[in-house]
Amino acid sequence: MKENRVYNFNAGPAALPLPVLEEIKNSFLNLNGSGMSVTEISHRSKWFDDIINDAVARTKRLLNLDDRFRVLFIQGGASMQFCMIPMNFLPKGKSADYVNTGTWSTKAIKEVEIQQKQINVAASSEDENFSYIPQDIQFNPDAAYIHITSNNTIKGTQWASFPETNDVPIISDMSSDMMSRPLDIDKFGLIYAGAQKNIGPAGVCMVIVREDMLELVPDNIPSMLKYTTYTEKNSMYNTPPCFVIYAIQLVLKWIEETIGGLGKMKQINEQKGKNIYSLLDNSSFYTGTAASGSRSLMNVTFRLPNEELEKRFIQEGIDNGFMGLKGHRSVGGCRASIYNATSIEAVEALVDFMKMFERKNG
Ligand SMILES: *Cc1c(COP(=O)(O)O)cnc(C)c1O
């Protein structure tokens, strides 16, 4: 461990790649010869234009986006997308299909209901405490769109592949697995991700939207809640969070140039997942909470034999430099978030710690 840094398994805000933090540190007082920090330059300057345009270009290259797709940065987090999506893309007389796979999907559904728009919950895994991803779903062929949550940060489940939808566009909340693997982008009308899980610090949501979706945007909604406001002004209708977008640009550069793209990123993430899930599978002390075909490669959720041991595990973790192993307050238990920035080495160290804890307490 460098510079007294801990192993960080926080769910969000979460670990950032060390080279990114070092680059931020090194360029902080003088960004690209400007003599100013990124928090002091104008968002209308050439310096910032270069940053946001490079972030967009890298996103397009990494995800193989063609010219139909626009990359946007919108404040308000993923949570604001929950309301913007039906506001922009769900016209009167149409219904949208939602798949409920946990807390975040439930919140997305609630925002449609608040707007008194027509919604069909096409599938839900609530019957089994959201421990699995529903399969063989019958979607409404006339739906305006199908909304899913590709990775369920709290419940530790993830869509391993995306459903066939007969050309109904999928809209996906990818807050906790954006840029963790390559995507077949043709299925998607829009994807979005609060930055603070896998692609940067808190403060902005990355939104990728297919241009034909924009034809649905009504005139009579507030400017700041309209996707076209952002597409027309390169995400700079008002002042964007410059620092956050800069950090995202550096994370994307790290994925592209240091890791070698999303294919490589996926391999690394699979390796990490294998390390920790095989420990869970071979242990009678730790129990994974997600069904085996639905397990997340980003958030590994598990229980110990009782809450007393879980408390001790979390505390001894902290004492040994393993931060963020507490499960979400709504579900309890333990969770290791192993996003892109978490190295194979960090996961191996965690696995060793878990084995040691089991030997002492099992
Ligand atoms: C964290 C999270 C959110 C909420 O993100 P905010 O940016 O805080 O609004 C939404 N969806 C998923 C899947 C998340 O993990």
SS3 for the chain, per residue? Answer: CCCCCCEECCCCCCCCCHHHHHHHHHHCCCHHHCCCCCCCCCCCCHHHHHHHHHHHHHHHHHHCCCCCEEEEEECCHHHHHHHHHHHHHCCCCCEEEEEECCHHHHHHHHHHHHCCCEEEEEEECHHHCCCCCCCCCCCCCCCCCEEEECEECCCCEECCCCCCCCCCCEEEECCCCCCCCCCCHHHEEEEEEEHHHHCCCCCCEEEEEEHHHHHHCCCCCCHHHCHHHHHHCCCCCCCCCHHHHHHHHHHHHHHHHHHCCHHHHHHHHHHHHHHHHHHHHCCCCCEECCCHHHECCCEEEEECCCHHHHHHHHHHHHHCCEECCECCCCCCCEEEECCCCCCHHHHHHHHHHHHHHHHHHC
Average pLDDT score, the chain: 97
From 24, 45, 49, 111, select the one nearest 76 (Cα to Cα). 111
pLDDT at residue 4 greater than cutoff 90: no
Ligand 1 site, residue 198, Cβ cutoff 6 A? no
Q: Which atom of ligand 1 is nearest to the CA of 104?
A: 11
Structure confidence by residue, pLDDT tens digits, 318-348: 999 999 999 999 999 999 999 999 999 999 9
The closest residue, in CA terms, to atom 10 on ligand 1 is 78
Q: How many CA atoms lie within 13 A of 119 on its CB side?
A: 22
Q: Which atom of ligand 1 is nearest to the CA of 76?
A: 9
- Rounded CA gap, 202 and 52, in Å? 16
The closest residue, in CA terms, to atom 5 on ligand 1 is 78
Pairing type for strands 151-152 and 146-149 reads unpaired
Q: Which domains does the chain show, CATH number per domain?
A: 22-258 (3.40.640.10), 261-361 (3.90.1150.10)
- Return the pLDDT at 345: 96
Cα 10 off chain centre by:
13
pLDDT at residue 128 greater than cutoff 80: yes
Tell me, in angstroms, the distance from the centre of ligand 1 to residue 158's CA.
14
Question: Catalytic site residues?
Answer: 104, 173, 197
Structure confidence by residue, pLDDT tens digits, 37-60: 999 999 999 999 999 999 999 999
Q: Which residues of 71-104 are buried (b: 16+ CB within 10 A; e: fewer)?
A: bbbbebbbebbbbbbbbbbbeeeebbbbbbbbbb
- Return the pLDDT at 3: 65
pLDDT at residue 126 greater than cutoff 90: yes
Q: pTM of the prediction?
A: 0.97
From 287, 295, 275, select the one nearest 351 (Cα to Cα). 275
- Rounded CA gap, 84 and 143, in Å? 17
Structure confidence by residue, pLDDT tens digits, 268-322: 999 999 999 999 999 999 999 999 999 999 999 999 999 999 999 999 999 999 9
Phi and psi, residue 290, nearest 5°: -95, 145
Confidence of residue 362 (pLDDT cuts 50, 70, 90): confident
Q: Which atom of ligand 1 is nearest to the CA of 81?
A: 9
Confidence of residue 1 (pLDDT cuts 50, 70, 90): low
pLDDT at residue 73 greater than cutoff 90: yes
Ligand 1 site, residue 153, Cβ cutoff 6 A? yes
Structure confidence by residue, pLDDT tens digits, 191-247: 999 999 999 999 999 999 999 999 999 999 999 999 999 999 999 999 999 999 999
Residues 6+ apart with CB under 8 A from 3: none
pLDDT at residue 2 greater than cutoff 80: no
Specify the residue for token string 């699979």.
270
Tell me, in angstroms, the distance from the centre of ligand 1 to residue 250's CA.
21
Confidence of residue 176 (pLDDT cuts 50, 70, 90): very high
Give, in degrees to the nearest 5, the angle at Cα 246 between 47 and 43. 45
pLDDT at residue 263 greater than cutoff 80: yes
